[in-house]
Structure formats: structure tokens, C-alpha cells
Structure 1
Amino acid sequence: MATFACSIAAFVPAASSSYHAHYNDGNHRSGHFLAMSRKGTRVQSQSLSSTLRINTVRIVILTCNAALPESDQPPKDLQVPRDWTSPSVAAQEAEWLRGALHQWLDDEYCPEPANEEISKRCSTAYLRCLTEGQVDMGEILMQMVRALESFSFKESFHGVFSSANAAIDLITKRMNDAHDS
């Protein structure tokens, strides 16, 4: 049996360190119960073909024991390139994120004043992470979530997690574009 990380958005009690989930990857029958344990807060760029359902209060990565065919092996942990942590590049990337996220938020539903503040908070959290040398996208996501928690989304179509996830998605696409060019 191989241990693999499954990227899922789940809500779990803060004090909890182990979980159970129903697992179905086509090889196990639906409802097969596997022990799950918290690995950390990481985001991965691809989803697995397996399905996890959890009754859930915070984003986590869970590990479970299951045999996977070689073609279904999970992706490696997603990290920002280390050269993006230099102060000048970090500032440039954070400014790019502010503009790109603001545009995405405006395009997704409608332009609204809250979009500017949401994009500023995510951009500031991203800059802080990069300048501190934090390259793990899961940690960056959690810093963005923390930066957005004190913001009132009453006047917005967006929420804390949808905004932070959109920012991470934009960063991931930018990394892929940089890698492809």
C-alpha cells in the first residue's frame, strides 16, 4: 500500500488531528472507510481521480493508505519558484496578483468596491509570504484566508475561501505560464 496526499477542502475541528473519510477510487467499494491523518496545509495543482467525502471547519490535506496505479499517483506539493522570494520579484508578483485578482473578482460576478480590498489583502499576504521565504502554496493560501477573515463580505458576492482559492489559482496559472515559456 502506498501513502498519498489528497488535496481537499474540508472543515475540521481545530483540535482534531485525525479523521475518517469515505473513499472510492474505483478499486474500493463506495463507503469503504479508511483512517485519515492530517499531513499539513498544502495545495496541489491537480486533483486525483479518487473521491473523498468528509463531514466537515478548515482546509487540510489528509493522507490515507490506498493502492494507486502508477498513472494515478498524486502530483508533487505545489510551491512558488524560489527566485520569486527576492524582494524586487516578490513586490512585482504581489502587484501582479493584486491586479489579476481584482480583474477576476470583477469579471466573475460584477465590479464592486469590495473587490479592491479583497485583492489588496490577498496581495499583501502574498508579498509577506514571499519576502519571508514561504513558498508552499498551502501556507500562502492559509495566510490569505487569515488576511481575509477580518473583512466583512456582507457587501460582496465573494467569500473568504472563494477569494483566496481564486488567488491561488491565478498564481498557479502564472507559474505554469512561466514554466511553459
Structure 2
Amino acid sequence: MTQPIPPITLPPSENPLLEGEWLQKRLLLWLDTEFIPEIVNQKIAQRAAQIFMRQRMEGENDLGSLVIAIVIEMQAFDFSKSFYGEFAIANAVSDLLLESLGIDRCCGQ
């Protein structure tokens, strides 16, 4: 029988604004290097960071819940001028956060 993947919990946020700034910079770098730099990438990174910061200010520490919040709220974003969509952004945020925690995101490890 397979075992469920345990949840990943971020440490409580001491400074959500600083976390948001870090995420916005890292996500923008990822967006610009994954395909091509686009002006809309700045808006995408800014919006995802705003969602993340608000969730953290409200006390959300569960990575899965943060990812779902980003997917849901980014659905209202106009991605028509981008290669990306809400799922790609939420997954990128997850990967960046896992990397920052020193967790290997490959192969469920």
C-alpha cells in the first residue's frame, strides 16, 4: 500500500514582507530564465508575492494550502500575454520555497 506524502510546513513567518520581496525577486528570475523575459513577468511575480504575503500574514504555514491559494487567486490574472498560467506559477513558487528549505523536490524525496 502506498503511503500519503506528509505535509510540508513552513516555519512561522517572522517578516512576511521580506519573504514576499524575496519570493517576488526569485520568481521573476525564474520566469525570465525559463522562457524569455517579458514585461508581464514582473506583474505575475508581484501578484503571486502579494498572495503569498497575505496568506503568511494570516498565519498560513502549510505549503499545499499556499499553493492552492496561489492557483485560485491567480485564476483572475490575465495570462493572455504570457507563456505561463496559474498552475505553472504556483508550482514554481512551491519549488522555490522547497529549495529555500533545502528540500529536494525531485522524485518525492
TM-score for both structures, normalised by structure 2: 0.86
- Counterparts of 1:32-47 in structure 2 under 5 Å? none
Structure holding more strand per residue: 1
1:100 matched to 2:26? The reply is yes
For 2:72 and 2:47, the matched residues in 1 are separated by 10
3-state secondary structure, aligned to 2:102 = helix
User: Which runs of structure 1 show a deviation greater than 6 angstroms over 4 or more consecutive aligned residues?
Assistant: none
Which runs of 5 or more residues in structure 2 are unaligned?
A: 104-109
* Aligned-residue RMSD, C-alpha: 1.6
For 2:80 and 2:58, the matched residues in 1 are separated by 32
Partner of 1:78: 8
Q: Which amino acid aligns with 2:48?
A: C
- The structural deviation recorded for 1:156 is 0.5
Larger radius of gyration: 1
For 1:128 and 1:175, the matched residues in 2 are separated by 20
1:145 matched to 2:71? The reply is yes
Structure holding more helix per residue: 2
Per-residue CA deviations over 1:31-75 (Å, capped at 9, x if unaligned) read xxxxxxxxxxxxxxxxxxxxxxxxxxxxxxxxxxxxxxxxxxx4x
Per-residue CA deviations over 1:130-170 (Å, capped at 9, x if unaligned) read 11110001110011112211112111111110111001110
Percent identity of equivalent pairs? 33
1:115 paired residue among 15, 30, 41? 41
For 1:93 and 1:80, the matched residues in 2 are separated by 12
Per-residue CA deviations over 1:87-142 (Å, capped at 9, x if unaligned) read xx211111100000011000000011111111111101110111111000111001
Higher RCO (C-alpha under 8 Å, 6+ residues apart): 2
Partner of 1:133: 59
For 1:131 and 1:176, the matched residues in 2 are separated by 23
3-state secondary structure, aligned to 2:3 = strand
Asked if 2 retains the 8 angstrom alpha-carbon contact of 1:141 and 1:168, the reply is yes
- The structural deviation recorded for 1:174 is 0.7
